[in-house]
Structure 1
Amino acid sequence: MVGKPLHTVDVRIATRAWRGKEAVDVRPLRATAEYPFLEVAQPLPDLCAAHGRRAVERRGTWIRFLRTGRGSEQATSGSLARSFSGEMWRALRTLTATPKVEISAVVYGEWPVCGDCVRRAKRLRWLGHTLAAIGPAALVGSVVAFLLTGPGQVPILLVLAAFPGGFPLGVILAIFAYGDARALIHCRPIADETSVIIRAHPEFADAAQGVAGSAG
């Protein structure tokens, strides 16, 4: 029986230039320079990369990479927070324009996922929905309380739930939750346009080598 891995291994997945005909939408991140659109160029096994279990579906996912101090790093809640905080500090220190988070590359793949990954993504999306709703709900509650009780009688906790609890904190945490819900694959910093190295279950690694070998 395949269980949760005690460790993960590096798996090199071949990539090539994106051949799709549809326009690619990578919002909400905005690019300030040209960057490559890539896609997985080799067959993938029907095993979840994260857990090594039999995949229940394949999800088409764009993996975004950001220009950071560590190179071209996968966009996750952690890397986004580091990148944005660094850019914000640089903007405040130098009094320059609004800080930008730059995309360095985007990789598309039909990634196999197991039931645990599907349920985790669903939980994170619901968490994002809840966090995003806190601010508006608390704001409406504050207005209603003000109208019913008058100035100075609105509960302070309700006010704090609206600001800064709902905005900006709730919105920021919701964005992170949505981002982590899409993070089905975890990658090393990307070095070139011919491959991407992912962190995967050893059984996925073995199966990926077998599938790639048979395809070649």
Structure 2
Amino acid sequence: MSFGGRNLRDAVVRTRITEDHTHEDTLDPRNPFIIELELADDLPDVCARHGRLAVDKVEKALLFRSRYPWDSPTEPPWVQRTAFQEVSFMLRLMIRVVTMQTPDPRPPSTLLRGTWPVCARCRLKKKIWQRISLALFLAGPAVLVTLLIVCLLTKSMDIRIPVTLAFFPGWLPFGFWAAVVIYQHAQTFALFRPITEYTRVEIRAHPRFADAVESRGTTTEIREW
């Protein structure tokens, strides 16, 4: 797989543990967050997604979810919570609810804290996606108010039924879930391979970002996607 006509590269960055609750006697592995990491290396002034010169640096904790929520809830690998992962998780939850199965315990999560370089394109995309997400969030209350007004003003089922369906199941749950997923996408400044050890992470990065990391003494490996 290529990005922008170039092969993506795995840029290796060191990390360290700042919080570790896995050895606590009262640990409930179903409750996040049981591990917290932070970057041990400063990232270069290059955007990981687009390979452009950074215009800002954003301090943010990125979320990762355990791949093994039952057998080994405190062990790697930890998978980044991207928009795709959120859709997959929500669909599995919805299927279990519809089929009246007991929902899976919420998988434990970990945080990766760091200061992430972002370019002008990242900021523009974030603003656009956040506004779309906000519009979807506000659509629900707007439809609900419209439904209440319609119920007060008319008894016509030809009007009540479409407005009711627009709210449920239209906005709730699908519109609400879409807003959550889009917001999650807007907050993603970098993509990662699953975390398999606590001393390093592999960022799926633009080649210029990988070159900048490599020039600081970190080895990167080219991989086809």
TM range (shorter): 0.7 to 0.9
Offset at 1:158? Answer: 2.4
Change (3 A) 1:5 1:122: farther
Distance 1:90 1:146 in 2: 33
Distance 1:201 1:185 in 2: 10
Counting aligned pairs with the same residue, the percent is 32
Equivalent residue, structure 2, for 1:24: none
Offset at 1:101? Answer: 3.1
Q: Which of 205, 210, 213 is the matching residue for 1:208?
A: 213
Map of 1:64-213 to 2, 5 A cutoff? 64-68=63-67, 71-86=77-92, 95-96=101-102, 98-154=103-159, 156-212=161-217
Change (3 A) 1:7 1:36: same
For residues 87-145 of structure 1, the C-alpha deviation after alignment (integer angstroms, 9 at most, x for no partner) is: 6656887944x433323421111010101111111111111111111121111112212
Distance 2:208 2:60 in 1: 22
With structure 2 as the length reference, what TM-score do the two structures score? Answer: 0.78
> Which structure's residues are more often helix, by fraction?
1
Distance 2:188 2:216 in 1: 24
Equivalent residue, structure 2, for 1:7: 7
Runs of 4+ that moved beyond 6 A: 90-94
203-212 vs 80-89, greater mean Cα deviation: 80-89
- Is the 8 Å Cα contact of residues 151 and 160 (structure 2) preserved in structure 1? no
Offset at 1:58? Answer: 0.5
Offset at 1:157? Answer: 3.2
State the SS of the aligned residue for 2:157.
coil
- Is the 8 Å Cα contact of residues 128 and 174 (structure 1) preserved in structure 2? yes
Distance 1:108 1:53 in 2: 22
With structure 1 as the length reference, what TM-score do the two structures score? Answer: 0.81
Question: Unaligned stretches of 5+ in structure 2?
Answer: 20-28, 69-75, 219-225
